Amino acid sequence: MDDLVSDFIRRTGGDPWRWGQTDCALWPASLVAEITGRDPAAELRGTYDTAFGCRQVLLRAGGLAGLSRRLMAGFRTGETETGVAVARLEGQVLCGVLRRGRLVVKTDGGVRMTRDFTLLTGWGFD
């Protein structure tokens, strides 16, 4: 599984940031879709294209963690070394990819990997 996650990060980490397509939440959802064949964010893709539009979606859904939990229903939850997560990083709640216990997040400048985060909830693939 780690090889699939590493390959995904390598292939897509440099893709341009696009709200509603490859932002911090939809990038990990693309990994889930690639590995499982089920896109948890299919209903969101293309429904917003700005930071304001994303914020509106999140406000209607009760926040990023609540929205992610709803969209990821049916996937195994809990502590995981490899998978996807909602985490707190430097005061922000973000979605990211978990790889070997590190959080990898998509930013408008590429990807950032860190061990210094607080896991709020995570989903594994096995």
- The 10s digit of each residue's pLDDT in 16-63 is 999 999 999 999 999 999 999 999 999 999 999 999 999 999 999 999
φ/ψ (deg, to 5) at 80: -150, 145
Angle between helices 64-71 and 51-61 (to 10 degrees): 70
Q: With the C-alpha atoms ordered 99, 123, 26, 90, is the resulting torsion angle positive or negative?
A: negative
pLDDT at position 82, please? 87
**Does the pLDDT of residue 80 top 90, yes or no?**
no
Residues of the domain holding 95: 2-124
**Does the pLDDT of residue 97 top 90, yes or no?**
yes
pLDDT at position 74, please? 83
**Does the pLDDT of residue 83 top 70, yes or no?**
yes
Counted domains in the chain: 1
Q: In what order do the strands lie in the sheet with 92-99?
A: 110-114, 102-107, 92-99, 83-89, 118-124
* pTM for the full predicted model: 0.91
Q: How confident is the model at residue 126 (pLDDT cuts 50, 70, 90)?
A: low
Mean pLDDT of the chain: 91
pLDDT at position 26, please? 96
With a CB cutoff of 8 Å and minimum separation 6, the contacts of 84 are 28, 29, 31, 32, 72, 95, 96, 97, 98, 122, 123
Largest Cα–Cα distance of the chain, in whole Å?
36
pLDDT at position 76, please? 76
Q: Of all residues in the chain, what percent carry a pLDDT higher than 90?
A: 78
